Amino acid sequence: MKVAMTVNGTLESHDVEARTLLVDYLRNVVGLTGTNIGCDTTSCGACTVLLNGQSVKSCTVLAAQAAGDDITTIEGLALEDGRLNPVQQAFQECHGLQCGYCTPGMVMAITSLLTENPHPTEEDVRVGLEGNLCRCTGYHNIVASALAASGVVEMHQ
Amino acid sequence: MSILGNRVVRREDPKFLTVGGTYVADLDLPGSVYLTFVRSSMAHAKLLSVDTSGAKAMPGVVAVYTNDDLGIARMPTIMGMTNEAMTQPMLASGTVRYVGEPIVAIVAESREIAADALEAVVVEYEPLTVVIDPAEARKDNDLLFPDAGTNTTFTLDFGGDEALFDDCEVVVELTLINQRVAPCPMEGRSAAAHMTKDGRLEFNSATQAPHGVRDGLAGFLGLEPDKVHVVTPDVGGGFGAKASVYPEDIVVGWCAVHLGRPVRWTETRSESMLGLGHGRAQLQHVRMGGTRGGVISAYRIDVLQDCGAYPAFGAVLPFMTRVMTSGPYKIPKAEFGSVSVVTNSTPTTAYRGAGRPEATAAIERTMDVFAREIEMDPAELRRRNLIGKDEFPYTTPTETVYDVGDYHQALELALEVAGYDELRAKQARRRASGDPIQIGIGLSCYVEITNGLPDGEFGAVEVRPDGKIIVRTGTSPHGQGHVTAWSMLVAEQMGVPIEDIEVIYGDTDVVPRGAGTMGSRSLQIGGAAVNQAAVDVVEKAKDLAADLFEADREDIVLDKSNASFHVIGTPAVSKSWGELAKAAVAKDGNPLFAEVDLASPGPTFPFGTHISVVEVDVETGKVTLLRHIAVDDAGRILNPLLAEGQVHGGIAQGVAQALLEEVVYDPDGNPLTSTFADYSFISAAELPSFETRFTETPTPINALGAKGIGESGTIGSTPALHNAVCDAVAHLGVRHVDMPTTPIRVWNAINDAAPHHDAKNTTKKGGR
């Protein structure tokens, strides 16, 4: 079936099998491999992307369901001049990543969280990230990154 | 000013944050076929028949293989120490011994076709008696390997003094379960292989040890090592479980050789939970004896290690447990015994700490039980028994030699940061008030061994004519930040900005040798090798500069403030690194280059004290971790930002084991925790931010003064949290709660204790 959607500002249109998941569409058809697959039960959030500005686990959305929608992946986050956006920058400054595998999903989830709640408490961040798993950081510096980026994100929007 | 010791942010990060890493599954390999495995659904069964005809007939299926088709040797014993009759075939042969064991390999044009073809393979099983409890396995009533005549694969016996506890006023005894857990790197196992035009096997692997994978592939496939090229792209975590070669890796390589097409394999999470090695899995029986005044004089631990179905590294974990038997304490007599047995479960392997967390959990939990027995504060009992800072090098009763430490300093700092006395006072008030939310405070003093294996490490530094520095290292980082850390070492020695340094790793063609990254070894041996290579290249540059300046060699100085060499007293005339690199090439055609194979100077022994503070709802059994204080000493700290990151991750994994994570099988050997929906992987919502501090007691063993930091967090945190939970309900008559301290376990422990205990009296009496 034919599916068309906007990915990181570019209109994409492809023939896919009806059973194609959005994450497989992004990785294998569009060729954006920044979004990772970490589980097969919608538990880990490694595949989190923004769908019309809201975070979704792209392993739990069919490509066909996203037809006509606006998708943002980690590849679409940096500022126009290529500089890191405030969330990305906070991750580097706070050492919010180690192996990097959960990172794209974490960054997208935090971007969505800060859009909904620009000034979260630590508790808000922790509860908000419950669906995104990380094995390296103990979440300490991911939470610190989110808090460091809060407010700043609002300023840049 | 020195760059060492500074919070330098990672050079690795921008790529991960803008386009994501490049993991094996991200590689673009045109014309690839996809490998999948039919895995056993039975824990122990005879394979009566395996019918692959349906799968073979499916369009898009390229090949279907059983073990007989491969003709590859079985996996070897572990370091020659495990039973020779218990090795694993590449694919199950005749008998399956755990759920998830690979039986058939299917190669197809797409992952989707491969997944469909799996369903078309018909396996007929004849069930055999399942042995899932290691205590049952040890009895040898039912054997996994009848030819072996036993389920025991490896034993250790250190001691045997029948009078060990005879002169003790107090002896406590405890049976502890150090439960099986799943390492869960966010990226599972993954490999992609193809034959190059010049007839070599190129193998991309999500591994911690690329050279080990190269040698493994070469050995199993009958290739010369130089015909195998292993590359690690970015690797999404390992935690010990990706340090060894798995049968699936070998089958990927075999298929690439035999099919002549690129072959890829990326396991699903559900496969990973069954196929990637599990960790811990020890049953421990512990006895500790001493005086009523709190002097510990005798200790013995007996370990029953569950190896899973085929002895892998897990079988020899007791070796590392033995090394750390008596922990940070001055115990005159300590003994260790272990028996490693096979069961019908996923093979166990190294998992962050690998044998040392188990040793620490045993002695630290027992210290608390002993303290309670003699009615002494657990901090005071530890204080009285820690090895003093003037007693190093210290040889333990199990013949381990600790290099250096100041264990009391770490304990006192942790108590101070925690506000220990106030916490105890608060606990006493809660107990007195009968509040359903009780407070628990748990301590853990640990010492552990890092760089415990005898391997040395390769490091090289090359200066290019454009002044750029190329560093090559035999370590294989997968999140640890070696690019940043090794750049700092080289920048310090050579005076060049870290931006001018490129660090290359994980490519067996470019890095000739390497043992990889595991066992908290990297900085102290791999970093030290790179550091030495940088020192050596400075010396070579001085030789060249002396020639160019026609000056005395001893008069040449490196001005690190502008990365150039001059003759002492005449800084105006200087030569840059690039100019000297050109001079080197002009002289004899060789680059300005130094490489080092640093022999291991032996292990080091990081130590510290962790304190957990928990709330326990005694009406529901629910535990909430309020605070975790970690004081760790890994010798000299190169980059506190990276070191803290290692500690944070370690704490989360260690806490997870004490709090909620556990791999569970039913009595028939069916795994009940084989997805992330079932396995209680710890999340941000269950953890607080951590309070970390370092003390720095440099080791004399290496030039950097560095010990390992990769596993300390895991080792220190588990017993601290475990003790905190037990402490929170101790006044209710609970002596011990097994890990993980889930609400049901805690609630049961409280209720089991209640009939024998007058809760009201104890509550009134208050805490300590």
Q: Name the nearest CA neighbour of A38 among B237, B382, B719.
A: B237
Question: Which residue in B14, B681, B689 is closest to A133 by CB distance?
Answer: B681
pLDDT at B1: 80
Q: What is the pLDDT of residues B362-382, one digit of tens each?
A: 999 999 999 999 999 999 999
Find the residue in B nearest to A137 (Cα): B649
CB-based contact A127 B685, cutoff 8 Å: yes
> Which of B652, B677, B689 is closest, CB to CB, to A41?
B677
How far is B406 from B394, CA to CA, in rounded Å?
12
* Sign (positive or negative) of CA dihedral B664, B149, B250, B40: negative
Question: Are B645 and A136 a contacting pair at CB < 8 A?
Answer: yes
Q: Are strands A54-57 and B33-39 parallel, antiparallel or unpaired?
A: unpaired
- Name all domains of chain A by residue range, CATH numbers in brackets: 2-75 (3.10.20.30), 86-156 (1.10.150.120)
Residue of A nearest to B477 (CA): A99
| Interface with A, mutate which of B16, B189, B522, B692 (most A CBs under 10 A) | B16
Of A38, A92, A101, the CB nearest to B13: A92
Smallest CA–CA distance, residue A133 to chain B, in Å, is 6
Contact check, Cβ <8 Å, B479/A100: yes
Q: Check CB contact under 8 Å for A40 and B684.
A: no
For A101, which of B236, B239, B685 is closest by C-beta distance?
A: B236
How far apart CA B736 and CA B60 sit, in angstroms, is 57
pLDDT computed for residue B767 by the predictor: 35
Dist CA B387 CA B389 (whole Å): 7
Nearby residues of B386 by Cβ (< 8 Å), 6 or more positions away: B328, B329, B330, B407, B408, B411, B445
Of B12, B234, B689, the CB nearest to A143: B689
pLDDT value of position B253? 98
3-state per-residue secondary structure call for B114-126: HHHHHHCCEEEEE
User: Which amino acid belongs to residue A2?
Assistant: K
Residue type, B729: V
Which residues in chain B touch residue A95, judged by CB atoms under 8 angstroms apart?
9-10, 641-642, 644-645
Distance from CA of B531 to the nearest CA of A (A): 23
Element (H, E) at B714: helix B712-728
Domains, chain B, ordered by start: 28-129+191-270 (3.90.1170.50), 130-182+277-376 (3.30.365.10), 405-450+604-768 (3.30.365.10), 457-598 (3.30.365.10)
Three-state secondary structure call for residue B420: helix
Find residues 122-151 of chain A whose CB sits inside 8 Å of chain B.
Answer: 122, 125-127, 129-144
B60 touches chain A (CB under 8 A): no
Cβ of B650 within 8 Å of Cβ of A93? The answer is no
DSSP labels for B257-300?
Answer: HHH-S-EEEE--HHHHHHHSPBEEEEEEEEEEEE-TTS-EEEEE
B653 vs A contacts (CB less than 8 Å): 135, 138
- Minimal Cβ distance to B648: which of A88, A131, A140: A140
Q: Whole-angstrom Cα distance, residue B716 to residue B606?
A: 11
Nearest to B184 among A104, A135, A140 (CB): A135
What letter represents residue A146's amino acid? A
Name residues whose C-beta falls within 8 Å of residue B1's C-beta, 6 or more positions apart in sequence. none
Task: Enumerate the residues of chain A whose CB falls inside 8 A of the CB of residue B190.
Answer: none
Farthest CA pair distance, chain B: 91
Query: Residue A94 pLDDT more than 70?
Result: yes
Find, among B593, B476, B486, the residue nearest to B531 by Cα.
Answer: B486
> B547: how many CB neighbours lie within 10 A of its CB?
14
Gap between the Cα atoms of A151 and B159, Å rounded? 62
Helix, strand or coil, per DSSP, at residue B659? helix
- Contacts of B124-128 with C-beta under 8 Å, sequence gap 24+, read B124/B47, B124/B48, B124/B49, B124/B50, B124/B51, B125/B40, B125/B41, B125/B42, B125/B45, B125/B46, B125/B47, B125/B48, B125/B96, B126/B45, B126/B46, B126/B48, B127/B42, B127/B44, B127/B45, B128/B44, B128/B45, B128/B46, B128/B95
Residues 92-121 of B with CB under 8 A from A: 112
Contact (CB<8Å) B23/A101 = yes
B209: closest CA of chain A, how far (Å): 15
Point out which residues pair with B107 in neighbouring strands: B35, B63
Q: How many helices (H) and strands (E) does chain B have?
A: 20, 28
Element at B447 (helix H, strand E)? strand B437-447
**Which amino acid appears at position B11 of this protein?**
R
Q: pLDDT tens-digit profile of B313-339?
A: 999 999 999 999 999 999 999 999 999
Q: Is B301 helix (H, G, I), strand (E, B) or coil?
A: strand
Cα distance between residue B516 and residue B205, in whole Å: 13
Q: Which residues in chain B touch residue A127, judged by CB atoms under 8 angstroms apart?
A: 685
The pLDDT of residue B354 is 96
Q: How many Cβ atoms are within 10 Å of B423's Cβ, its own excluded?
A: 18
Instruction: Kindly give the parts of chain B with pLDDT less than 70.
Output: 755-768
Contacts of B298 (CB under 8 A, 6+ apart): B164, B165, B168, B171, B287, B288, B289, B290, B331, B332, B333, B334
Give the relative orientation of helices B528-549 and B577-588 as an angle to the nearest 10 degrees.
Answer: 80
- Taking one residue from A and the other from B, the number of pairs with CB-CB distance under 8 angstroms is 180
Q: Which residue of B has its CA nearest to A38?
A: B186
pLDDT computed for residue B757 by the predictor: 56
Residue carrying structure tokens 């090795």 = B87
What is the chain A residue with the closest CA to B18?
A75
Reported ipTM = 0.97
Residue B756 is predicted with a pLDDT of 58
Residue of A nearest to B8 (CA): A93
In terms of CA atoms, which chain A residue is nearest residue B682?
A133
Report A:65-84 residues touching B (Cβ under 8 A).
74-75, 77-78, 84
Distance CA A143, CA A147 (A): 6
Give the tens place of pLDDT for each residue, A8-65.
999 999 999 999 999 999 999 999 999 999 999 999 999 999 999 999 999 999 999 9
Which among A43, A126, A135 is the nearest to B685, CB-wise?
A126
Alpha helices in B550-635 (DSSP H): 577-588
Residues of A in contact with B648 (CB under 8 A): 137-141
Nearest CA-CA distance, residue A36 and chain B, Å: 8
- Which of B12, B17, B626, B629 to probe the A interface (max A CBs under 10 A)? B17
CA dihedral B519→B265→B75→B202, nearest 10 degrees, is: -80
φ, ψ for residue B97, nearest 5 deg:
-125, 0
Cβ-defined contact of B18 to A36 (cutoff 8 Å)? no
pLDDT at B755: 66
Which pLDDT belongs to residue A78? Answer: 87
Query: Do B451 and B602 form a contact (C-beta atoms < 8 A)?
Result: yes
Cα end-to-end span (Å), chain B: 50
- Within 10 angstroms of residue B569's Cβ, the number of other Cβ atoms is 7
Structure tokens at B254: 């075999």
Torsion over CA: B370, B740, A137, B352 (sign): positive
CA nearest to A40 within chain B? B269
Q: Is the pLDDT of residue A101 over 50?
A: yes
Among residues B349, B361, B376, B364, the alpha carbon closest in space to that of B243 is found at B349
User: Nearest Cβ partner of B687 from A46, A107, A138?
Assistant: A138
- Structure tokens given for A150: 């809060």
Q: Which residues of B touch A149 (CB under 8 A)?
A: none
**pLDDT confidence tier of residue A151, bands split at 50, 70 and 90:** confident
Q: Which residue type occupies B394?
A: Y
